[in-house]
Amino acid sequence: MSERLVELEVLRYNPETDSKPHFQRYSVPCREEWVILDALNQIKETIDATLSYRWSCHMAVCGSCGMMINGEPKLACKSFVRNYDGVIRVEPLAHFPIERDLVTVIDDFMGKLARVRPYLIPREAKTVEQGEYRQTPEELKRYKQYTLCINCMLCYAACPEYGLIPKFIGPAAISMAHRYNLDSRDGGRELRQEEIAASEGVWECSFAGACSEVCPEHVDPAAALQQVKIASTIDWFKEHLMPWLKK
Amino acid sequence: MAEKVTRRPYVREVPRTRWFFRHPRYLRYMAREVTCLFIGAYTLLMVVGLHRLAQGRASWEAFLEMLRSPWSIAFHGLALGFSLYHTITWFNLTPKALPVQIGEGFLPDAVIAGAHYAVWALLSLILLKLAGAY
Amino acid sequence: MARSNKPIVWGPFAAGGTLTAFLTPALVILTLLAALGNVPEVLAYDRLHAIAAHWLGKAAFIAVIFLSLWSVAHRLRITLYDIGVRADTAVAVAVYSAAGLASIAAAVFLFRL
């Protein structure tokens, strides 16, 4: 198993001692099959124990290790060292405040996720005795891809509009709302529209499509957002031009 | 014994006017967005043309004469390029906005976009034929 | 959080964007041919005048011009915001008014025919 020395340039920030972030260079002996996360763990274990970063599953399902690698939002556990030449620049995920080193403040996203009610609001509530909510494979397929989101926030780092307009609810949150809106068991679309059809909801999206390009799970949030725009537009015109259609 | 926690999150500013130079995908996005300048300019040219048409034959002939200037030819070249880029980006993105589910599958993006290209080619050829372009 | 009224400007934008995607390249080719000295029959004064004099022709011109200008205006509004012009309301009023006024001008010219 071959090893090579890889140069990592990592953005450091200690809120207790630093006035602003600064890069620190590390020379890390890496195995051929390693990912960036392995290199970071190697740094923490053998070179610099003060380096802080989030990680958990090491297999691209938990969404913890999102960071900027050579300026691109990536999961550190899914970025292979062998795919990079020269010095690898590692920075915290863009468009989020830096807590410390590679750890970002994610409160904004967590708040937005809660606002869109990302849970089933049953169309007709059933007690346990009444049995299960039944769904055909076709009904499941309709929303399946939007269930794959691991809340890694790479899409927020890529989205130019979120970078310019911090109050934009953002790709992942709106895709989660869309996932439930498309679910045949759900009846909560009207409630969610109050959040996602607002001006800081889907209407800040300009369909740049960067979110879908960086999504590690192929959720395609850009598609979800355009579908929400069309549905919201049809709603609006129905409501304003045909008010007698009120349910 | 609890220690005092010092949090001082650092906010990295996004350069307001130059953020799109940071990555090719943002440049492609801006290229798509600025197609509106050329499509807008061309449509305004159409409005001017209608004005000349309404003023009578001599005015219209002068308009056609003006179209033959080098600036006009250069503008038309750019307008054609940018309007084609708008067409291509619009058709390629349409399948995202209008998914077609068939059973447990979805109509492939290439089919939806391909249908748009086919209809566009057909309509354009018919329009150009009716207009006497060929 | 109130639902936005954005749909009222986005709907015509989507329609205009689709229209320009299908139509504009062919239109540019027509006047490009004229620019290169090979005027297509439809751009001859008598032909074009006849089309624009007919109510269907007028309707078609107005629809194409309005939807094209509206979609351009909307995109310009967003682009200006993207490049740092923050006064969104002022920009919106300016661009949509310009699209509207130019469309009205086109209608006026058409009704003089």
Average of pLDDT values for B29-48?
96
- Give how many domains chain A has, as a whole number: 2
Asked if A41 and A148 sit in the same domain, the reply is no
Q: How far is B9 from chain A (nearest CA, A)?
A: 5
- Is residue A191 within 8 angstroms of chain C, CB to CB? no
**Any domain includes C42:** yes
Average of pLDDT values for C93-111?
96
Mean pLDDT across chain B, nearest whole number? 94
Residue B2 is predicted with a pLDDT of 59
Asked if A84 and A174 sit in the same domain, the reply is no
Enumerate residues 6+ apart whose C-beta is below 8 A from A94: A68, A73, A157, A158, A163, B12
- Is residue A147 within 8 angstroms of chain C, CB to CB? no
Asked if A8 and A98 sit in the same domain, the reply is yes
> What is the CATH number for A16?
3.10.20.30
Residue A1 is predicted with a pLDDT of 58
Asked if A209 and A239 sit in the same domain, the reply is yes
Last residue of a domain, one of A57, A77, A104: A104
Asked if A58 and A69 sit in the same domain, the reply is yes
Per-residue pLDDT reduced to its tens digit, A156-197: 999 999 999 999 999 999 999 999 999 999 999 999 999 999
Average of pLDDT values for B105-109?
95
Last residue of a domain, one of A55, A85, A104: A104
Q: Indicate if the pLDDT at residue A246 is higher than 80.
A: no
Cross-chain residue pair B42–C28, CB shorter than 8 Å: yes
Asked if A138 and A124 sit in the same domain, the reply is yes
Cβ contacts of C25 on chain B, cutoff 8 Å: 80, 83-84, 87, 124
Cβ contacts of A142 on chain B, cutoff 8 Å: 101
> What is the CATH number for C106?
1.20.1300.10
Q: Indicate if the pLDDT at residue B1 is higher than 60.
A: no
Per-residue pLDDT reduced to its tens digit, A2-15: 789 999 999 999 99
Instruction: Write the residue in A160, A197, A229 that is nearest to C3 by C-beta.
Output: A197
Cβ contacts of B119 on chain C, cutoff 8 Å: 22
Cβ contacts of C3 on chain A, cutoff 8 Å: 193-194, 197-198, 232, 236
Give residue limits of the domains in chain B.
Answer: 19-130
- Evaluated on CA atoms A27, A31, A32, A34, the torsion sign reads negative
Nearest to C93 by CA among C3, C9, C7: C9
Range of the domain at A213: 107-245
Asked if A166 and A208 sit in the same domain, the reply is yes
Nearest to A235 by CA among B46, C11, B57, B106: C11
- Give how many domains chain C has, as a whole number: 1
Residue A242 is predicted with a pLDDT of 87
Cross-chain residue pair A226–B93, CB shorter than 8 Å: yes
Instruction: Write the residue in A98, A164, A226 that is nearest to B9 by C-beta.
Output: A98
**Any domain includes C106:** yes
The CATH class of B19-130 is mainly alpha
Q: How far apart are CA B114 and CA B32, in angstroms?
A: 20
Asked if A92 and A163 sit in the same domain, the reply is no
Cross-chain residue pair B60–C48, CB shorter than 8 Å: yes
Helix (H) or strand (E) holding B82: helix B70-97
**Any domain includes C1:** no
Helix axis angle for C45-53 and B57-67, nearest 10°, is 120
Cβ-based contacts under 8 A for chains B and C: 145
**What share of chain A has pLDDT > 70, as a percent?**
99
**Any domain includes C79:** yes
Nearest to B96 by CA among A212, C56, A167: A212
Last residue of a domain, one of A104, A132, A154: A104
